Chains A and B, each alone.
Chain A
């Protein structure tokens, strides 16, 4: 405890006054030598008896009152575990609270609370110290980092926002959260601006020391190491269930103590009552365990196979462990049924889109080289009914000669349901059969013309650094779009003509590039920009349709009227005004059901294995001094003391009134 005005403590010397008054009032018993003491009966005087009980209580009250007044006058500053931010010169503060709501923050502290709960409590402590004029913003560091509350001086709004925060299973992105936090403070007029990070700092990359200048990283307990094993995802594979399990206590990286703590772990494949089987058959009649498997120790990650005679749709895998397990939420995972992988359809003429050594087409090879986890299926022709397209998340079509009306119909329907397609136009467009066109990608008939220039890198800057590789393409020809009025141009040739255009159709996206993959026309397929383009399309496909298995926190594009039912109830459909697209962002792992119009589909949010494996990082050196100086855990307890003084005074008055009443009665 320290005091603002220590001299005021001298008032405490007056504590002797009620003591003296008490003794004066009480009167001392006369002490005498008396030889016949043994004959005198013991009889304590009633006044003395009363004084013994009641006066002592009053004396204690009055003494406490004086001590409390002395303390109040000295304005005590209590050093405690509550968080507070130093306020140099008493000026108003602009504070941005970065709260990590990633999965790793669900690891339990020794007292049994989740780290996320402690972080929110720390934020509440900081907010409780705020005064009028202080501005506070709240940024969440679970991936994607996002703004929960823009800087506000309305402390009630801040408290309400904190109350509404919930733990999530997201990945960590403190770096992006810091950027957002700083941006919330930039426009504020406050002189003192502070960013407080309440996180375990288990980010993919160590935080940049420069980026952390002046940032406060309190609550070291959040960054204590922990031990955990969790199921990242469980999928039906080859007639069985394969569970991907990761642990952060493998002997290779753990200390001897942790290795000693490894207990028996096993997996159970469970099915609820009424679950439909995969394939033909009647629903399951009772709950049960279909299969178990023992988890061998010593591996930081393992794919554990669970074999069962029959598989069901609503199965789940449970991890049971005797060893310490910090995160309970990652010990249960729904089993993802087959057919929910992202499937990419690749339609290319092997005669023109293959390298001379043979094998798969360049398009297939490039798609597989992305290592996106999606399955690539070559197509020989486009199906003319939408059922044939439903399994695809994205289509890549090289040098088509146009689409028949049936194919156009099926493509349009599929695109509106969230499909993503990219067409590479080439010389074949010149030989388009009668009745065919390039709708729904383009209106009108494109023409093939010679070309010498490359792609304007500035217009394709969204491809990142790889866009530069397209500047000197020098193709032998290019497709000239007859009318691009309905399309949004994504990249242009160096002479300003559109090279890549897109068109939005319902939830889907139709892209059209004015150059084929064939190496006979250009070396586009060999440029990094080509892979970047394919990767962008695959990501779009994941967002919109395919990839029914996504990381927690990644957005799913849905129709505006869609309903999404997840493990924690209905998700709120949000609107991205820039893209004019509705989306949902699942924050918890598990099974989700999307219902939009007549269609209904099942999706799964899976964990980022790194959230389990990655260990918390200590606060960087750059933040320690600032944290020690600015995040002073000193609290002015004058207000509480003032209440205490009032309370004591009230008790004293009541006690006196009671005594008076009792005397009057007597």
Chain B
């Protein structure tokens, strides 16, 4: 396998054009609006429950009082706006695309993000976009915008994603993770969905903690781990000289001898993130760029909907 140069421009590969691919993926993966999981003020009756001090007195059901001789309040299922916040890691490592992969990791992440954005915009849910690292981070050249549900939201999302470049390094990532997560945590309403796309290779420990804190405040947080197939399997043989995408870390190793240790380290990271995220209501989904994007999106939507992630590992 020949060495790959660092790519300044994102290698979209077979993922381009994003606008068409994203729509196709979204159409294939999901049709119809999603039902709100929240019950409360709304238009469609959703049943009774016992009154507890503090409930809105206007929702007391007098008929039920008379019938059951106790205070009960009416509940309604309501279709609410669900804010979707897409956060993409655009550090340099996300620009990696191995030989045989359909595109760079960031391209695959952008495809999933765009498709998800399309689904949300069809449901008129507000969609926002932010960046970790890269030129978009911290108000850089990329477009970042808060969640909105206008008719051109999807187009804006597409436009911003198509301009993506994987240019940040891990040092700036630490800063941008903190900045982006603080911003989302403070401004997004309860019930918002935060989907973070990253390879989680050099994510600082504080960033995972911050992510868990956001998840604990009644917001759905899904961390989508995007890996290149060579990162997922480490298929190398013989003597290797590996150079990291971020920083100047170079090592010499032997493919066969290093495989087991690498995969174990990868699994350890995943386990660590899962352990810290899931108790707070967050979720981790690992995808590989060679995965069928339609299936990947379905799995992502399932995770957002709170379905089990059993058997989701690539």
Chain A residues within 8 Å of B, Cβ to Cβ:
27-45, 47-48
Docked-complex contact A41 and B4, CB < 8 angstroms: no
CB within 8 A of A48: which of B93, B202, B239?
A: B239
Residues of A within 8 A of B245 (CB): 33-35
Interface stretch of the complex, out of B19-27, B49-57, B250-258: B250-258
Q: Is B309 an interface residue (CB 8 A)?
A: no
Docked-complex contact A32 and B239, CB < 8 angstroms: no
Bound: A28/B240 CA distance, A: 9
Nearest-Cβ distance from residue B39 to partner chain A, whole angstroms:
44
Docked-complex contact B250 and A37, CB < 8 angstroms: yes
Closest chain A residue to B92, Cβ basis: A35
Residues of A within 8 A of B96 (CB): 33-35
Instruction: Name 9 interchain pairs, CB-CB below 8 A, sorted by A.
Output: A30-B1, A30-B2, A31-B242, A33-B6, A33-B245, A34-B243, A40-B253, A41-B258, A42-B251
Bound: A32/B240 CA distance, A: 7
Interface stretch of the complex, out of B78-86, B156-164, B259-267, B277-285: B259-267
Nearest-Cβ distance from residue A25 to partner chain B, whole angstroms:
13
Nearest-Cβ distance from residue A230 to partner chain B, whole angstroms:
73
Which residues 223-250 of B sit at the A interface, judged by CB distance below 8 A?
A: 228, 230-231, 234, 236, 238-246, 249-250
Nearest-Cβ distance from residue B86 to partner chain A, whole angstroms:
22
Residues A45 and B238 in contact in the complex (CB < 8 Å), given A32-B1, A34-B230, A35-B199: yes
Bound: A43/B240 CA distance, A: 9
Nearest-Cβ distance from residue B43 to partner chain A, whole angstroms:
50
**For the side of the interface on B, what is the size category?**
35 or more
Beyond A39-B262, A45-B238, 8 extra complex contacts between A and B, CB < 8 Å:
A31-B243, A33-B3, A34-B244, A35-B244, A36-B266, A39-B269, A42-B253, A44-B254
Residues of A within 8 A of B269 (CB): 39
Docked-complex contact A30 and B240, CB < 8 angstroms: yes
Nearest-Cβ distance from residue B288 to partner chain A, whole angstroms:
13
Closest chain A residue to B228, Cβ basis: A35
Bound: A35/B231 CA distance, A: 8
Residues of A within 8 A of B234 (CB): 40
Closest chain B residue to A29, Cβ basis: B239
Docked-complex contact A43 and B253, CB < 8 angstroms: yes
Q: Which of A36, A39, A45 lies at the interface centre, i.e. has the most chain B CB atoms within 10 A of its CB? A: A36
Q: Is B100 an interface residue (CB 8 A)?
A: no
Bound: A39/B92 CA distance, A: 17
Docked-complex contact B265 and A45, CB < 8 angstroms: no
Bound: A99/B24 CA distance, A: 108
Q: Is B5 an interface residue (CB 8 A)?
A: yes
Docked-complex contact B254 and A40, CB < 8 angstroms: no
Docked-complex contact A37 and B249, CB < 8 angstroms: yes
Bound: A39/B4 CA distance, A: 19
Docked-complex contact A32 and B242, CB < 8 angstroms: yes
Docked-complex contact B257 and A39, CB < 8 angstroms: no
CB within 8 A of A37: which of B6, B238, B244, B266?
A: B244
Bound: A42/B257 CA distance, A: 9
* Shortest beta-carbon contacts, A-B, top 4: A35-B93, A37-B244, A45-B254, A29-B239
Closest chain B residue to A39, Cβ basis: B265
CB within 8 A of A42: which of B6, B243, B252?
A: B252
Docked-complex contact A45 and B243, CB < 8 angstroms: no
Residues of A within 8 A of B6 (CB): 33
**B177-214 interface mask toward A, CB cutoff 8 Å, 1 = contact, 0 = none?**
00000000000000000000001011000000000000
Which residues 1-43 of B sit at the A interface, judged by CB distance below 8 A?
A: 1-6
Bound: A34/B240 CA distance, A: 11
Docked-complex contact A32 and B3, CB < 8 angstroms: yes
Docked-complex contact A32 and B199, CB < 8 angstroms: no
Bound: A27/B5 CA distance, A: 22
Docked-complex contact B239 and A27, CB < 8 angstroms: yes
Bound: A154/B278 CA distance, A: 103
Bound: A388/B239 CA distance, A: 109
Residues of A within 8 A of B228 (CB): 35
Docked-complex contact A34 and B242, CB < 8 angstroms: yes
Residues of B within 8 A of A38 (CB): 201-202, 244, 249
Bound: A48/B252 CA distance, A: 11
CB within 8 A of B254: which of A35, A39, A43?
A: A43
Docked-complex contact A32 and B258, CB < 8 angstroms: no
Residues of A within 8 A of B251 (CB): 37, 40, 42
Nearest-Cβ distance from residue A37 to partner chain B, whole angstroms:
4
Nearest-Cβ distance from residue A663 to partner chain B, whole angstroms:
19
Residues of A within 8 A of B242 (CB): 31-34, 37, 40
Bound: A38/B253 CA distance, A: 12
CB within 8 A of A40: which of B4, B202, B239, B258?
A: B258
Bound: A472/B291 CA distance, A: 142
Residues A36 and B201 in contact in the complex (CB < 8 Å), given A43-B254, A43-B257, A44-B252: yes
CB within 8 A of A41: which of B231, B241, B246, B261?
A: B261
Residues of A within 8 A of B253 (CB): 40-44
Residues of B within 8 A of A32 (CB): 1, 3-4, 236, 240-243
Closest chain A residue to B170, Cβ basis: A38
Residues of A within 8 A of B246 (CB): 35
Closest chain B residue to A34, Cβ basis: B242
Nearest-Cβ distance from residue B298 to partner chain A, whole angstroms:
27
Residues of A within 8 A of B231 (CB): 34-36
Docked-complex contact B243 and A39, CB < 8 angstroms: no
Closest chain A residue to B257, Cβ basis: A43
Nearest-Cβ distance from residue A635 to partner chain B, whole angstroms:
49
Bound: A34/B243 CA distance, A: 6
Residues of B within 8 A of A30 (CB): 1-3, 236, 238-241
Closest chain B residue to A44, Cβ basis: B252
Closest chain B residue to A48, Cβ basis: B239
Bound: A195/B94 CA distance, A: 89
Residues A35 and B201 in contact in the complex (CB < 8 Å), given A29-B241, A30-B1, A42-B252: yes
Residues A37 and B243 in contact in the complex (CB < 8 Å), given A42-B251, A44-B252: yes
Bound: A29/B253 CA distance, A: 9
Bound: A322/B96 CA distance, A: 84
Residues of A within 8 A of B238 (CB): 27, 29-30, 45
Closest chain A residue to B95, Cβ basis: A35
Residues of B within 8 A of A37 (CB): 242-244, 249-251
Nearest-Cβ distance from residue A449 to partner chain B, whole angstroms:
123
Residues of B within 8 A of A43 (CB): 253-254, 257-258, 261
Nearest-Cβ distance from residue B254 to partner chain A, whole angstroms:
4
Bound: A35/B236 CA distance, A: 14
Nearest-Cβ distance from residue A33 to partner chain B, whole angstroms:
5
Q: Which of A27, A34, A42, A43 lies at the interface centre, i.e. has the most chain B CB atoms within 10 A of its CB? A: A34
Closest chain B residue to A30, Cβ basis: B240
Residues of A within 8 A of B1 (CB): 30, 32
Q: Which of B93, B240, B249, B250 lies at the interface centre, i.e. has the most chain A CB atoms within 10 A of its CB? A: B240
Q: Which of B228, B253, B269 lies at the interface centre, i.e. has the most chain A CB atoms within 10 A of its CB? A: B253
Nearest-Cβ distance from residue A603 to partner chain B, whole angstroms:
86
Nearest-Cβ distance from residue B83 to partner chain A, whole angstroms:
31
Closest chain B residue to A35, Cβ basis: B93
Closest chain A residue to B245, Cβ basis: A35
Docked-complex contact A39 and B201, CB < 8 angstroms: yes
Closest chain A residue to B244, Cβ basis: A37
Bound: A34/B230 CA distance, A: 9
Docked-complex contact A31 and B262, CB < 8 angstroms: no
Residues of B within 8 A of A29 (CB): 238-241, 252
Docked-complex contact A31 and B244, CB < 8 angstroms: no
Docked-complex contact B252 and A41, CB < 8 angstroms: no
Nearest-Cβ distance from residue B205 to partner chain A, whole angstroms:
14
